[in-house]
Chain A
């Protein structure tokens, strides 16, 4: 009995609460480790192999909907409904109230802030679900190591199809290619359906015009057959996210498409993790945190040697379009060229607007991922933060430094340590403040005291369940800190007795000195 555990990675407290119940009821769960690859084919594959599907659906507010939920969880649920596997859904009661028709009638609402109040009801639902799974027959689809490649219309599609087939062959698939018109029978083409059914994996290469390949995809989609969807589109560069939540990767460059396809295949073949065993090895909170720490493709330009402080400046990317977009938004809001604004009040206002701009993205905080090496730390670029929708304190400090630099401010990154932790804060130096030489903790305290510099808790701009820096639990409202609280939290940390200033990086000064 294997149950897929669909959950929101960043809601560690809720996840750990439910994990404990599943441990009590001995329901064996499988979960997908958080990664930067959204692979719908992998989900479809597991939905055809599992006994049941459990989903915990918490609230995930957006700018437009304070009781929204993750569209990715929504997609997983849709796939599970399509695959007709036994399911158990726990939905935040506010989400359930406002989006009732998105969920099947058997969904169980729960209060996010105090799920224990309904512990008996939730436990009973889990027990009933377990009994149902133990008795429900399942008929897993028979699969060989066969892949069906369905090739749509258009020269670019046909041109790239042989490369896709070659990759499948190298991954030990027996590839069957389907192209052209499917004998004009459309949905009546039972041989097509049987071919798709008999495939472990289908790959649909779709042209810009609607074709029989689209029709074949519809058939596979309706039956939850594991499918990679590759859509040729001249406008692919504007597509965000890509792949879409529906799992469609839009491409206009064959080389990039093949890279993405290879990554989709790698993800497809990866196994799931076992949360209950992780709970038994440590505890529910630790297990939920580990599941929620993203496993992502690290490039050499993501790596930083932790004590090479000047090298941090190479991780500050003011040129990235995400940064430029945010700064342009602030420029429009102030209705002035940012280079002309030099006074301290304006520096503060620009920083506040940048901070509040990031708040609206509702990104999530996560702990630093494991690199397997103590000598290197991974730092996401602004584009990766936007794509992954998650960031560490150092990712965010570098992101804010990039935003401030692009807004003609003197960005600062402070690396602090104390006891058993290290932490990064972001901020700026007033434009009329002299360049500091080997600044000490005292210099920083003086500067904060006089307004010569401003630091803030960069993670306050992203959702975190627990305090990350020196803020207190009550200060995180809706998992976020407002700007003035983020400043107060940073100052509080700087004034802690045991804190040590490992480095204070003045980005502009380092750039000027060729750092």
Chain B
């Protein structure tokens, strides 16, 4: 049976297509280079360290994401949360399955390496200088959240009680509302959590250069419509992360 963390990572990847950062508060950066190990991205180097220049494009829009595991999660505000004049409310997050989770992020915006083709050529050169390993993965895109709350249950029965300072009635329960200050008051069972964290990178995606590019001694810059750059990379799948 898959571990709770794997269930979380698979469900997030199947729905959003990004790898969820594990642990959720880990600071992965764009241009980081590493490998998958035990379900985590482990940094080994970076484009900067290998002295490969790259450009980053910043997404123009910010979005909110509220994602909850398909089963085993309930979020319940205390009585009176929707009434004005209540300054402090409690929110109970309960899990009835291992791997159940809550992922709420506000102000989520993407960044991405822009000049992939040039970077691919530079990576091949670095490989020839023995400064790059074939198996290395490159973090080519990630999301930054202004505020995020991520809670993953590692037990079949677990819960977190959050305290929220609010200056207006709660409409719905959004655990990444920048106007609401959240803190953990109690935990039952085993959970991994970041609550109300600012400027974290909860989602990322990776590329890896295809193996045959390293073995091709005659790699030439892209000319005309030759699809060299098109096929330069491959994407690791979620199973690769989960089986690492």
Q: Is B235 an interface residue (CB 8 A)?
A: yes
Cβ–Cβ contact A449 & B233, under 8 A: no
Q: Is A445 an interface residue (CB 8 A)?
A: yes
Cβ–Cβ contact A435 & B231, under 8 A: yes
Which residues in chain B, 75-90, are within 8 Å of chain A measured between CB atoms?
A: none
Q: Is A420 an interface residue (CB 8 A)?
A: no
Min CB–CB distance B243 → chain A (angstroms):
15
Q: Is B122 an interface residue (CB 8 A)?
A: no
Residues on the A chain within 8 Å of B110, using CB: 449-450
A445 vs B207: C-alpha distance when bound (angstroms): 17
Q: How large is the interface on A (under 10, 10 to 19, 20 to 34, 35 or more residues)?
A: 20 to 34
In the complex, per-residue mask of A429-464: 1 if CB is within 8 Å of any chain B CB, else 0: 001111111001111111101110000000000000
Cβ–Cβ contact B225 & A339, under 8 A: yes
Q: Is B141 an interface residue (CB 8 A)?
A: yes
Q: Is A408 an interface residue (CB 8 A)?
A: yes
The residue of chain A having its C-beta at the shortest distance from the C-beta of B12 within the complex is A442
Residues on the A chain within 8 Å of B227, using CB: 431
Q: Is A342 an interface residue (CB 8 A)?
A: yes
Residues on the A chain within 8 Å of B205, using CB: 446, 450
Q: Total A-B residue pairs with C-beta atoms closer than 8 Å? A: 60
Residues on the B chain within 8 Å of A446, using CB: 16-18, 205
Q: Is B13 an interface residue (CB 8 A)?
A: yes
Which residues in chain A, 11-60, are within 8 Å of chain B measured between CB atoms?
A: none
Cβ–Cβ contact A432 & B235, under 8 A: no
**A447 and B222 in contact, given A432-B116, A434-B231 (Cβ under 8 angstroms):** no
Cβ–Cβ contact A434 & B235, under 8 A: yes
Residues on the A chain within 8 Å of B234, using CB: 434-435
Min CB–CB distance B122 → chain A (angstroms):
14
Cβ–Cβ contact A447 & B17, under 8 A: yes
Q: Is B112 an interface residue (CB 8 A)?
A: yes
A450 vs B229: C-alpha distance when bound (angstroms): 18
Q: Is A410 an interface residue (CB 8 A)?
A: yes
Cβ–Cβ contact A436 & B235, under 8 A: yes
Residues on the A chain within 8 Å of B231, using CB: 434-435
Q: Identify B15's interface contact among A339, A442, A447, CB under 8 A.
A: A442
Q: Identify A342's interface contact among B16, B18, B229, CB under 8 A.
A: B229
A340 vs B224: C-alpha distance when bound (angstroms): 5
Cβ–Cβ contact B235 & A441, under 8 A: no
Q: Is B237 an interface residue (CB 8 A)?
A: yes
Min CB–CB distance A406 → chain B (angstroms):
13
Q: Which residues of A contact B (CB under 8 A)?
A: 339-340, 342, 408, 410, 431-437, 440-447, 449-451
Sampled A-B contacts (16; CB under 8 Å): A339-B224, A340-B224, A342-B225, A408-B225, A431-B229, A432-B116, A434-B207, A434-B232, A434-B235, A437-B237, A440-B17, A441-B14, A444-B17, A445-B15, A445-B16, A450-B205
Q: Which residues of B contact A (CB under 8 A)?
A: 13-18, 59, 110, 112, 116-117, 141, 205, 207, 222, 224-225, 227, 229-235, 237
Given contacts A434-B207, A437-B237, A445-B15, 4 further A-B contacts (CB under 8 A): A431-B229, A435-B231, A435-B234, A450-B59
